Amino acid sequence: MRRWLGSSGMALVMGMSGGAATAAEAPTYHREVVRILQKHCQDCHRPGQVAPFSLLHYDQARKRGADLAAVTADRKMPPWHASSKEGGPFRDARVLSQDEIATLGRWAEAGCPEGAVADAPAPRTWESDWSLGTPDLVLKATESYTLDAEGQDELRVFVLPTGLTEGRWVAAVDFLPGNPKIVHHVLAAFDVRGAAKKLDEADPKPGYKAFGGFGMIPSGGLGGWSPGKVALPLPDGVGRYLPAGSDVLLQVHYHRSGKVESDNTSIGLYFAKHEVDKQVRGARIMPPSPGLFRRPTLLIPAGDAHYEISGTQTINEDSHLIAITPHMHWLGKDFLMKAIRPDGSTVTLIRIDQWDFNWQGAYDFATPVPLPKGTRIEMKAHFDNSAENSANPTSPPVAVHWGEQTTDEMCIGFLQMTVDDEHRKNQPPPRFALPTADRLSKEEKP
């Protein structure tokens, strides 16, 4: 915790002490502070969620008054790594206003006064564990997975048959980590070919072990979850098509807690209630690879504190960008993605100045960003492979290559897009238009 008591937080607290804040004017817990905690902190700081302590009651906040002021002034909390100066704007950005930060600072400086209970708003309640209400389809493994106390992080893929007899358009996806102490993040996809089921059958425990991806090529993606992620429905008229008979794949990244733990994470699917006109399409911006299906050439020298990597791709149809998921491992330092439109105008899509492996996830744009045909997407990122990088998993540092292990590195910008002149009118995407059996027999013809 000490490392978070940075200078700007202390300066703010001390700066106020000579100023005009008198006890009478100081914010109180029940009048101002609880509103800030309800809005920005309690989603994670309550029992059963990812944060290590609750911020639901006065005593809990008072005990840590100075810390609350310091971590918010330093913008360490709430965790949100995208720059608010450049890029976005994003839906549900976890960013406090300057006023809110100053209020917490003045409250701490005044000795964390409680104030009158009568000033307090109603406590927040979380009626359903599902933030969008009961899903149309909830899937989870038939058996919990037991994770040993010690060892490296583990990635496991669970194969969940949907039993769908007809294809459905999915408008929103949500996740309920079974055991938030060990579930670090979740990625979902689907498989219509039975390939994941075979891997599952070959592994005696529930699910199967994976390294980076799914251990096979899924038929399509279904989004993901990371701590604090609130489910967001896709924009109106946009969906992901889930074909009949598909298996949903949940890739769960487990952190060990030092104790034997068990988990059974669920995924909830919300089907589109209105006509779907466009499907979400995935794209990825990566550093150049020497050949088809080859991995990018990446070699980060041991000790290099500012190793640059870049990638670019041109958009070949008028499109809109819905969301970006930047992905790097422990050596990631910063990440920048821009779009250069054919008219020469440049927009920053996302800028992350301090990469944090623990807090990666999808960033959804407040409104989809137009990317006209011919737009060039440029990604530029840096790695810190020095001994000074406290996140460096290897000591002393060694040269690091591209790969899926957490001690390897990657740099990918996953994009979720729609194509402007696609009009599906609820019809399945062409590749899923045939019934599964016919499609498979056709695809399998040489």
Residue (of 244, 261, 299) closest to 181 by Cα position: 261
Least gap, CB of 38 to ligand HEC (angstroms): 10
- CA geometry: angle 5, 10, 15, nearest 5 deg: 170
**Closer to ligand HEC at the Cβ: 90 or 169?**
90
Least gap, CB of 125 to ligand HEC (angstroms): 17
Least gap, CB of 329 to ligand HEC (angstroms): 17
Least gap, CB of 63 to ligand HEC (angstroms): 10
Contact between 405 and 361 under an 8 Å Cβ cutoff? The reply is no
d(CA 424, CA 163): 24
d(CA 319, CA 283): 12
Other beta carbons within 10 angstroms of residue 425's beta carbon come to 7
Other beta carbons within 10 angstroms of residue 223's beta carbon come to 25
**Closer to ligand HEC at the Cβ: 73 or 192?**
73
**Closer to ligand HEC at the Cβ: 78 or 105?**
78
**Closer to ligand HEC at the Cβ: 22 or 390?**
390
Return the sign of the alpha-carbon dihedral for residues 57, 63, 67, 69.
positive
**Closer to ligand HEC at the Cβ: 225 or 270?**
225
Residue type, 42: Q
Q: Give me the residue whose beta carbon is nearest to ligand HEC.
A: 228
In sequence order, what are the residues at sequence separation of 6 or more whose Cβ sits closer than 8 angstroms to the Cβ of residue 100? 36, 40, 72
In which residue are the tokens 């550093």 written? 287
Least gap, CB of 385 to ligand HEC (angstroms): 23
Least gap, CB of 246 to ligand HEC (angstroms): 31
Alpha-carbon 348 to chain mean position: 19
Residue (of 341, 306, 339, 332) closest to 415 by Cα position: 339
**Closer to ligand HEC at the Cβ: 3 or 425?**
3
Contact between 116 and 387 under an 8 Å Cβ cutoff? The reply is no
Q: What's the maximum distance between 2 C-alpha atoms anywhere in the chain?
A: 81
**Closer to ligand HEC at the Cβ: 94 or 333?**
94
**Closer to ligand HEC at the Cβ: 63 or 306?**
63
d(CA 159, CA 31): 48
Least gap, CB of 352 to ligand HEC (angstroms): 16
Least gap, CB of 259 to ligand HEC (angstroms): 18
Altogether, the residues listed in the chain come to a count of 446
* Site residues (vs ligand HEC, CB under 6 A): 1, 4, 40-41, 43-45, 50-52, 64, 67-68, 71-72, 77-79, 94, 96, 227-228
Least gap, CB of 68 to ligand HEC (angstroms): 4
Contact between 177 and 261 under an 8 Å Cβ cutoff? The reply is no
**Closer to ligand HEC at the Cβ: 189 or 232?**
232
Other beta carbons within 10 angstroms of residue 293's beta carbon come to 5
Return the sign of the alpha-carbon dihedral for residues 270, 276, 280, 281.
positive
